[in-house]
Amino acid sequence: MTSSSSSPTMIARDAELEWLNSLLDAVRAGTPATAVIGGEAGIGKSRLVSEFIAGLGPDVRLIVGQCVDLGEVAAPYAPIKGALRQLVAHVGSERALEAVGPGRAALLALLPELAASEAVTAGEIVITPGGAGSGQLHEAVAVLLETLSHDLPIVLVIEDLHWADAATLALLRFLLRSLGSSRLLMLLTYRTDDVTRGHPLRLFLSEAERDRWVERRELERLTEAEVRALVGTLIDDEAPSDRVLEAVFRRSDGVPFFVEELVGIDGCRDEGFVPGTLRDLLLARYERLSDDAQELLRLLSTGGVRVPHSLLAAVHRGGDEALEAAAREAVTYGVLVIDGDDYAFRHALVREAILADLLPGERARFHARYAEAYESRAEAGSRRLAAEISYHWLGARDPVRAFPATIQAMREARAAVAYATSAQLGERALELWDTVPDAERIAGMTKLELMGRTASQLRHAGEGERSVAMIKLALAECPRSDPQYARLLRDKALYLANVGRGGSIEILEESLAAIPDDDDEAGQELRATVMTGLAGRLMIEARLDEAVEMADAAYELARSLGFARYASVAMNISAVSRASRGEVDRALSDIERSRELAEGDGAALLRYWVNASDLRYLVGDFPEAVRLAEEGLARARAQGVERSSGVILASNAVDPLFALGEWERADALIERALALDPPGPVRTYLERAKLWALVWRGDAEHAAAMFRQVRPAMAPVMQVEMQTRLGVGRVAVEIALAVGDLSQAWRDGRGVLREEVLPLAGYAEPLLWALARVVAAVRADPARVSEAEADEILGADPEIRALIDRLSFWPTHPLWKAFVDAELTPTGAAWRAAAEQAAADTAPRFLRPYALLRIGEALLESGDRQAARDALQEAFDGAVEGGVTAVQTRTARVAMQAGLALDGATHRDTEQGSAGVAGADDAADAVAELTARERQVLDLIAEGLSNRQIGERLYISGKTASVHVSAILRKLGASSRTEAVYLARATH
């Protein structure tokens, strides 16, 4: 009986292969997809991927990346760089650089060898060292893949994700969310038994599962019947006995690789052949080899799962013939395979077993050979190899030689904007510092500088708390007389603010005091940055007079030194702070001056657009606010940061779009921005806007549930940003009002009201109106709260009136005062005055239908039914036209309870928050808008199937089915699956 090392036929994975092919079909049709395949070691992940790849046609472009096992600190972006180099080889350097557009510099930071292309040497691209941030790099890769996928669908395979470095995971996370218009299939594999508690891949997987284009499956072990079938494909002649087959199944536990190893052992005829331990099984083939072949495998295992022939030849101490003979023997016995120019272990488990069998001295000797070989390669080529050199010198137990490589690897990772990896290497270098003679000379920096840079990389990598901890350690070692002390204090203040902790202002003031008066140009620049940062923090915490004074001083210093960026930012901060003090005209003028100063500086210009668009929104110039935000977004695209920095500008367009009644356009911006996983403050802003829109579009229960979920994450941002406290406070009050919980509404609003709200009138006025609505609701029905709460709420009437009166300096004050007055004194005349104010261009569009509704209610109380009906009809029509579903529903309910018939209103308008008027013609039109797939899903909803069952029936995921169900409910204006079926049937 003879057997092969691996089965010529894949067993028991037909369903998974069909799944992958169905995803590829969807990608061909224009829908991106990501398949995440997990499973224990030896379960067949690589075999499944190989079978899938083998079936790819010429209409697909395949690129493959392999994660590298370099211990705790992997080489940054190793699998991504490998895959992109294949892509560049397919299309050529010039086409790749053309496809990436404004992200060329960022792509060059990742693949520096592209700088040798004709397009670059011709001077077409200007490379600024350190100029590309992670957002730019991520966007550059996304644009490259998206653009080239329009030529041919791309299949990107990344194997062994459990070895991926943090930078690679961050980039993949970005790609998952940002490639909605690409034809890209990402196929990711990982080993489940390596993803232990605390492993960085666990968070990645949990986040990936929430993305609608991601499907994840874990491969199961084979059944006994499937093991028998697998054994049958491995054996060429007489089959083993049932007893041996039962032993193979029992000892392999249904893991295909173990089955192949067990069957591959000589003498597979009775139960006695089975090795006693897993280690014995994994080493069984290895131990049958000659001494030369075994030594080659031990050397190879030190280099990784796969090693290029040229590298192996450099570290092998025998001649070429001896190397080839040993390698051929290992391939013949099924331990190694040839993969292009690489030697690779047939399975990583075998490599790990051999590696574990190395003697300590042998391991160190082999690592030293690899380190020397990588050093030679680094000197001869353009590729960055310092991470590999550092890893192998550490393995060789030579910290003196590992240290410079680690410093260089840190720099290379920073140049490739792999911040997390750079930080890890910085921490490794700090651990080695005291063991290396003359470490400061070798590193080219002091230990304090290294600590500061490491903290900076931690912050950029999103490790906020660790960055704070590192900077605290640096400050503890830094004498106050050291010039570094002020810089470290500045960084500590900024890092604390990034994690939502207080104290930044005091620390920045201490930093400013620590800068010597006679400092040099570098010290003056530091002083300018500290003063600008301090002005910004004072502005955010609404200490406006101090903010203006500090910003103006920072501007004068920056201008005198010729630092245009800092001058622009300082002028920007001063303008926003002056506006909040009521100096609106000067603020609008000054913020335009900040733009002039920022010309040519992308970062300063983006900051101008962010603050200028927000200021225009707050003063009621909604069209200009949208125009500025979109202008900034266009520049962000031109700079290659649309999906990163551009998200902030996109979010700034949301509120003015809502104010203009452009709900769907704003919704699209919110969903797109949230899908890109923005930083905490931006996410809080977007989620606050989304919650507010849900309330006014009649879905208060959904808003309440969502708010409970996101509120804890909003808390840190609210602690350090006054405007966020006011904005979220307003939404909290409105949600509680909408669901009828007046006690909660008052608690949420009163807590914010006790803050000093007056300096931020643009945010405070809507909150005061929301609180006035709480008072009005309690006055109308005091029994809805406790007696003590009623006394407190009603007693706040004078305080609210006094506060709104003190905001008379703000341009939108007449509007909000009219609404506050009308809520607290709800007469017909007061509401007519509010409606008149709401007709102005500076008033959000949703306010006028609301005011007309309240006029109708007041008229009903006075007994003028005809006038009430006219007002309610106008309110209803305005609400329908403006998409203000909450007002539409309430207006219809008021009219129905009064026995008044409104044109276009139906019973459903009084019961639900549907997005439009649900007449039979409307329902028929909505059904006609359903896609063929959505009609299939609707038919299965009618059968009573769940999302999971629908997915199984249609061969799609339950998550995809859920997306279709949501689309159906939205198009039909239905609030439930049952109602959707009813509306669809009513049209037949």
Dist. CA 952–CA 259, nearest whole Å:
31
Q: What is the mean pLDDT of residues 96-101?
A: 88
| pTM (predicted TM-score) | 0.71
Selection from 426, 501, 427, 498 nearest residue 462 by Cα = 498
Q: What does the block give as tokens for 976?
A: 């439930």
β-strand partners of 155: 62, 185
Q: Which residues contact 518 (CB under 8 A, 6 or more apart)?
A: none
Contacts of 868 (CB under 8 A, 6+ apart): 856, 857, 859, 860, 898, 900
Write down the pLDDT at residue 380: 81
Q: Are 257 and 41 within 8 A, CB to CB? A: yes
For 947-963, what is the mean pLDDT?
Answer: 72
Residue 985 pLDDT greater than 80, yes or no: no
- Angle, alpha carbons 257-262-265 (nearest 5°): 125
Where does the pLDDT of residue 192 fall: very low under 50, low under 70, confident under 90, or very high at 90 and above? confident
CA angle, residues 417, 419, 425, in degrees to nearest 5: 120
pLDDT digits (tens, 9 = 90+) for 809-840: 999 999 999 999 999 999 999 999 999 999 99
For residues 149 and 90, what is the distance between their CA atoms, to the nearest angstrom? 12
Closest CA to 74 of 362, 416, 462, 468: 416
C-alpha angle 747-752-757 in degrees, rounded to nearest 5:
150
**DSSP notation for 683-698:** HHHHHHHHHHHHHHTT
Q: For residue range 45-54, what is the model confidence (pLDDT) as tens digits?
A: 989 999 999 9
Residue-level pLDDT at 130: 37
700 CB-contact burial (10 Å; exposed 0-12 / middle 13-18 / buried 19+): buried
Q: What is the pLDDT of residue 558?
A: 93
Q: For residue 967, what pLDDT is reported?
A: 76
Between 170 and 197, whose confidence is greater?
Answer: 170
Residue 36's DSSP bridge partners are 188, 216
- DSSP H or E segment with residue 247: helix 242-252
Rounded to the nearest integer, the mean pLDDT of the chain is 85
User: Could you tell me where the DSSP H helices lie in 721-760?
Assistant: 722-739, 742-753
- Average of per-residue pLDDT across 193-208: 82
Q: How confident is the model at residue 744 (pLDDT cuts 50, 70, 90)?
A: very high
Sole residue written with tokens 């009621």 = 620
Task: Give percent above pLDDT 90 in the chain.
Answer: 48
Task: Give the residue carrying structure tokens 């499956």.
Answer: 217
More confident residue, 277 or 743: 743
Rounded alpha-carbon distances, angstroms, from residue 272 to 120, 225, 247, 265, 957: 66, 22, 9, 11, 46
Beta strand 214-218 pairing with 306-308 = unpaired
Q: What pLDDT is recorded for position 173?
A: 87
Q: What residue type is assigned to position 278 of the chain? A: L
Distance CA 109, CA 604 (A): 22
Q: How far apart are CA 783 and CA 353, in angstroms?
A: 74
Banded pLDDT at 5 (limits 50, 70, 90): low
Residue 15, H or E segment: helix 14-28
When comparing pLDDT for 710 and 601, which is higher?
A: 710
- Compute the average pLDDT of residues 912-917: 36
Which band of pLDDT confidence, cut at 50, 70 and 90, is reported for residue 406? very high
Q: Write out pLDDT tens, residues 617-661.
A: 999 999 999 999 999 988 887 776 776 678 888 889 999 999 999
Q: Can you give the pLDDT at residue 37? A: 93
Write down the H helix ranges in 639-721.
645-652, 654-659, 663-675, 680-696, 700-720
Q: Report the 10 Å Cβ neighbour count for 734.
A: 26
The CA-based diameter of the chain, rounded to the nearest angstrom, is: 107
**920: pLDDT strictly greater than 50:** no
- Residue 1, pLDDT > 50, answer no
Mean pLDDT of all residues in 737-758: 79
Asked whether the beta carbons of 509 and 534 are under 8 A apart, the reply is yes
3-state SS assignment for residue 819: helix
Q: Are 289 and 363 in contact (CB under 8 A)?
A: no
460 band by pLDDT with thresholds 50, 70 and 90? confident
DSSP H or E run through 941: helix 932-942
**Of 246 and 860, the one with more pLDDT:** 860
For residue 940, pLDDT over 50 is answered with: yes
Residue 788 has pLDDT above 90, yes or no: yes
User: Is the distance from CB of 303 to CB of 315 less than 8 angstroms?
Assistant: yes
pLDDT at 917: 30
What DSSP character marks residue 123?
I
Question: CA–CA separation, 583 vs 275, rounded Å?
Answer: 84
Q: How confident is the model at residue 417 (pLDDT cuts 50, 70, 90)?
A: confident
Identify the band that residue 760 occupies on the pLDDT scale cut at 50, 70 and 90.
confident
**Cβ-contact 233, 7 below 8 angstroms:** yes
Is the pLDDT reported for residue 152 higher than 60?
A: yes
First and final C-alpha spacing in the chain? 68
Distances in whole angstroms, Cα of residue 556 to Cα of each of 284, 560, 783: 76, 6, 60
Asked if the model's pLDDT at residue 133 lies above 70, the reply is: no
Q: How many CB atoms lie within 10 A of CB 361?
A: 9
* Percentage of residues in the chain having pLDDT higher than 70: 89
738 vs 905, residue with greater confidence: 738
Contact between 369 and 41 under an 8 Å Cβ cutoff? The reply is no
CB-count exposure of residue 504 (10 Å: 0-12, 13-18, 19+):
buried
pLDDT at 121: 41
d(CA 902, CA 879): 13
> Can you read off the two tokens belonging to residue 509?
């003031």
Sign of CA dihedral 892, 896, 897, 900: positive
> Going by C-beta distance under 8 Å and a sequence separation of 6 or more, which residues neighbour residue 920?
986, 987
pLDDT of residue 396: 93
User: To which residue do tokens 């075994």 refer?
Assistant: 294
> What DSSP designation does 121 have?
I
Q: Cβ–Cβ contacts within 10 Å for residue 98, how many?
A: 14
Q: How many CA atoms lie within 13 Å of 406's alpha carbon, on the beta-carbon side?
A: 28
Q: Average of pLDDT values for 948-964?
A: 72
Cβ-contact 938, 984 below 8 angstroms: yes
The pLDDT value recorded for residue 118 is 43
- 852 pLDDT band, cuts 50/70/90, is very high
Q: What is the pLDDT of residue 134?
A: 65
Q: Give whole-number Cα distances, 352 to 159, 346, 355, in Å.
A: 17, 12, 5
Mean pLDDT of 144-171: 91
Between CA 904 and CA 910, with CA 905 as vertex, the angle to 5 degrees is 165
Average pLDDT over residues 155-174: 89
DSSP of 263-281 = HTSTTTTSGGGS-SSHHHH
Q: How confident is the model at residue 958 (pLDDT cuts 50, 70, 90)?
A: low
- Report the range of poorest mean pLDDT among 80-94, 288-302, 521-535, 896-910: 896-910
CA dihedral 868, 872, 873, 876 (to 10 degrees): 180
What is the pLDDT, as a whole number, of residue 519?
67
Residue with tokens 């300082």: 570
**Which residue did the predictor score with more confidence, 837 or 924?**
837
Please, which residues bridge with residue 191 across strands? 39
Residue with tokens 């004194």: 825
- Indicate the length of the chain as a whole number: 988
**Strand partners for 154:** 61, 184
Among 71-80, 890-899, 959-968, the range scoring the smallest mean pLDDT is 959-968
Q: Determine the 3-state secondary structure of 761 from DSSP.
A: helix
Stretch among 181-185, 708-712, 941-945 having the lowest mean pLDDT:
941-945
Which of 115-129, 429-443, 704-718 has maximum average pLDDT? 429-443
